[in-house]
Structure 1
C-alpha cells in the first residue's frame, strides 16, 4: 500500500511552504513517527513525521515550494510486511541456503547500486562545481585585469559561497523592512542599576531552583516591571489597525529567543497572572520547543509587547526593531560594572543600558521616557515596587 504524506497546514493564513531539509534519503526504510523532513513556513520551521513504517519515496526536492495539501512523499507500507512473511515461511535447509544467498545478492546489488549512484552524483556535482568555479575564475580574471599591479605575483583568495535564503528568513526580511517603512519608529534610552536584583538573585537562586526546578534569572523581574509600566502607560500596550487604535486590556509578553533556525518570538500568555516560577517555567518550555523545532505558529502569535535581550550575546547598546503589529519593544543589554555617582561619591555598580523602540504615531516621547523610567524604578528598588516588603519575599518566590 502506498501511503501519501501531504503538506499539513501550519496556520490559517499560510498556504505555501518550502522544503528546508530531508533527514532521510529516497528509498530508505523509515519507522512510524520518525522525523523525515523539515518545512519552512512564513513564521516557523515544522517537522514532518512518517505516519507508518515502510520504504520512502520522495516526491519533492529540497528548496521546492509546495502548497498545503500537496504530496510531499509516499511510504510503501507493503514491502516490509512481505519481506517478513517470506523470511518466516522458509523453513527447510535448502530454503535457508537460498535465503542466505538472496541476502548476499541483495548486499552486492545494494553496493553496486550505491557505487553507481555515487558515481552519477559525483559527476553531477563535479559538473555543477566546475561551472561555478569557471564563473568565479572569470570574475577573478576580470577583477585582476582591472586592478593596477602592486608588484606582487601572488593572488589573493576572493572566493565566495552562495546559498538561497530559507522561506522563514525571506519572510522575516520582508517584515523587518516593512516595519522600518510603515512605522514612525523612534528609540529612547536609559540605564538601570542592577545591584538589588543581583542581591535577590544571589540570595534566592539556590533555594528557588531546588524548590521549582528552574533557574531564577533576570527575565521575571523585567517582565513584571514591564507589566507594571504598561498599566501606567496603556498606549504602549496597543496597536494600529488602519484608522483605529486597539488598546489591549491583557498582557501577552513576547520574548525573543535565538534558535537553530534564527530568532523566534514566542509569547508568554497572560503574563500578569504568572508568578516568577510560572514565568521561568514558561520561558524554559518555549525555549526547549524552539531548540527541538517543535514550536507552533500559535505559540508565536498574538503578543502585545516584546522584550529582547541582546545582552546574552554581549551587546552593550542597540535599537531593537518593533515586532509588528505591536507598537513597542524593550531591549535589554549586557551588565557592566561602571563608575556612578551615589550621594556625591563615585561607586562601582553593575549597570545595564535599556532601549525602548516605539511607534511615534501613537506613543508620545513623554510616554516612552516615562515607561522606561518606571522600569528603572522597579528594577532598582524591586522590594518596594514589585514585591511590597521584605516580609513578602518568601511568598513572592513561592518558597
Structure 2
C-alpha cells in the first residue's frame, strides 16, 4: 500500500486546497496518472500516482485545505476491485453512507464519529487540538480568538479544519446554553447575511488565489506610502513603426510586433536613469537591483498573475514579444511554474486592453514601482500655438513607494518613459 501525499511545492508554499479529485475509491491507476489538482496561492499543481494499483481511500474532500506532506488518500495493490473508502468507519455506519463516494464521506459523517469513540463528549480532539488542526484552521482561530479545545471537528479522524472554525462561530457556545432567555440573542444573527430577505443572491467561496491577491493588495496599501503620478504619450510614432514594420517583423520572427516590447524597453531605459525605482526596502536598507526582471501583469481565469520576463535588458524586441506571449498563454492555461512568478524588479500592467482610460495601479510588493498603460484614444492635441491635430494618445500612470522614491524622481522617470516612447529610435540606444 502507498500513501497519496501532498508534495513539496516551493519554499513559500506550506499548504493548498484540493480543487478536484480525478479518481474515486476503487479506481485502477498507473504510475504517473493524475489523481488530484491542488490549488495554491500561486500556481495549481497536479498530484500523480507514484505506484500502480487501486485507490483504497480518499481521506480529504474537494475544497479541503491540506498541508505539505499530509496523507490525503491511499493506493493499494490490485487491479481495480472496488474497495471501501473508509475501512474503519464502514462497519459502524448504516447502509446509506456506505453508498456514498469516498470523496464525499468527510462531509456526510458529522454525527458518526460521536458514537464509536465517546458518545457523550463530542469535542474529543480537545486533548491535543492545536496539533490536530490544519495550519489554516490554527491561523483562523488565532484571528478570531477561538480556543481550539472548544471546537468540534467534523472530520472522522478528529482533525480540525478551517470549516470547523467558521462553523464554530455560528454555533451557540456552551456557557450561553444554560441561559434561559435565549430569544434576545437571536436578533444578532441577521447581521451575517448581507442580502435582503426574499431577494436572489449567490454566495461563492473565494478561491485560494483570489484570497492571496486580496491579502497582498491590502498589505501593499498598508505597508507602502503609495502615490501615483500621471502623464500622456503621443503614440503616433510607435503606430507608424508598427504599420511599416509589422508584416516584415512577423515574417522574420514568427511573432507579432505589439506595444509591450516598446514599453518594456522604455521602462528599462528609465530604470537605468532612475535606479531607485528598480529597488526594494529590506528593513532599514535599500536594495538597488542592477538587473531588470520585468513583471507583466496578465489577467487569467483564476485572477491576476504577474509572470516575469528575466533579464529583459538583454533581449531584443522579438525575444520580449515571444516571452510575453508564452507567459500569457501559460497563465491562461494555468500552467505557470513558481519560477515564472518569483522575483521581478518592476511591473507593467495594461488596463487598456479592457478599455480603461485612466487608473491608479497598486504596487506589486516588495517592488516600489509599477507602470500602468491605458487605452489609446484619438483626441485633439495642440501642436503649437495655432495648430490642432487629432493624435492617438495614451495616459500612463506610475505608482511608486514614496518611502524611497521622491515625487520629483517619479515624475522625471515617467517623463523619460514618455520621451522614449515618442521617439522609438531612441529605444535602440537607451533601452
Same fold (TM over 0.5): yes
Which residue number corresponds to residue 371 of structure 1?
413
Task: Give the alignment partner of residue 346 of structure 1, picking from 388, 392, 402.
Answer: 388
Aligned-residue CA RMSD (Å): 3.0
**CA distance 1:60–1:233, shift in 2 (3 Å):** same
Q: How do 1:280-295 residues align onto structure 2 when only pairs under 5 Å count?
A: 280-295=321-336
**CA distance 1:190–1:70, shift in 2 (3 Å):** same
Checking the alignment, whether the CA contact within 8 Å between 1:378 and 1:386 is kept in structure 2 is yes
> Aligned with 1:18: secondary structure?
strand
Which residue number corresponds to residue 220 of structure 2?
179
Q: Which runs of 5+ in 1 are unaligned?
A: 84-112, 125-137, 144-154, 390-395
Which residue number corresponds to residue 61 of structure 1?
61
> Aligned with 1:357: secondary structure?
strand
Report the alpha carbon displacement of residue 346 of structure 1 after superposing the two structures with TM: 1.4
Which residue number corresponds to residue 79 of structure 1?
79
Report the alpha carbon displacement of residue 381 of structure 1 after superposing the two structures with TM: 1.0
Report the alpha carbon displacement of residue 212 of structure 1 after superposing the two structures with TM: 1.8
Q: Distance in 1 between matches of 2:342 and 2:299?
A: 17
Q: Distance in 1 between matches of 2:197 and 2:65?
A: 39
Q: Which runs of 5+ in 2 are unaligned?
A: 83-95, 109-185
Report the alpha carbon displacement of residue 5 of structure 1 after superposing the two structures with TM: 2.5
TM-score (structure 1 length as normaliser)? 0.75
Report the alpha carbon displacement of residue 264 of structure 1 after superposing the two structures with TM: 0.7
> Aligned with 2:380: secondary structure?
strand
**CA distance 1:46–1:76, shift in 2 (3 Å):** same
Deviations 1:57-113 (A, max 9, x none): 422111212111112333345315x99xxxxxxxxxxxxxxxxxxxxxxxxxxxxx9
**CA distance 1:317–1:33, shift in 2 (3 Å):** farther
**CA distance 1:24–1:309, shift in 2 (3 Å):** farther
Q: Which has the higher contact order (CA 8 A, sep 6+)?
A: 1
Report the alpha carbon displacement of residue 168 of structure 1 after superposing the two structures with TM: 2.1
Deviations 1:310-350 (A, max 9, x none): 11111111110000000010001111111111133111111
Q: Distance in 2 between matches of 1:32 and 1:3?
A: 12
Which residue number corresponds to residue 393 of structure 1?
none
Checking the alignment, whether the CA contact within 8 Å between 1:320 and 1:329 is kept in structure 2 is yes
Report the alpha carbon displacement of residue 26 of structure 1 after superposing the two structures with TM: 4.1
> Aligned with 1:358: secondary structure?
strand
> Aligned with 1:283: secondary structure?
helix
Which residue number corresponds to residue 304 of structure 1?
345
Task: Give the alignment partner of residue 256 of structure 1, picking from 277, 288, 297.
Answer: 297
Q: Distance in 2 between matches of 1:4 and 1:34?
A: 15
Which residue number corresponds to residue 15 of structure 2?
16
Which residue number corresponds to residue 98 of structure 1?
none
Q: Distance in 2 between matches of 1:74 and 1:205?
A: 56
Checking the alignment, whether the CA contact within 8 Å between 1:46 and 1:293 is kept in structure 2 is no
Which residue number corresponds to residue 44 of structure 2?
45
Which residue number corresponds to residue 129 of structure 2?
none
- Give the helix-richer structure, 1 or 2: 1
Asked if 1:33 is matched to 2:65, the reply is: no
Which residue number corresponds to residue 240 of structure 1?
281
Report the alpha carbon displacement of residue 353 of structure 1 after superposing the two structures with TM: 0.8
**CA distance 1:43–1:190, shift in 2 (3 Å):** same
Asked if 1:278 is matched to 2:319, the reply is: yes
Checking the alignment, whether the CA contact within 8 Å between 1:4 and 1:75 is kept in structure 2 is yes
Q: Distance in 1 between matches of 2:429 and 2:309?
A: 24
Checking the alignment, whether the CA contact within 8 Å between 1:229 and 1:371 is kept in structure 2 is yes
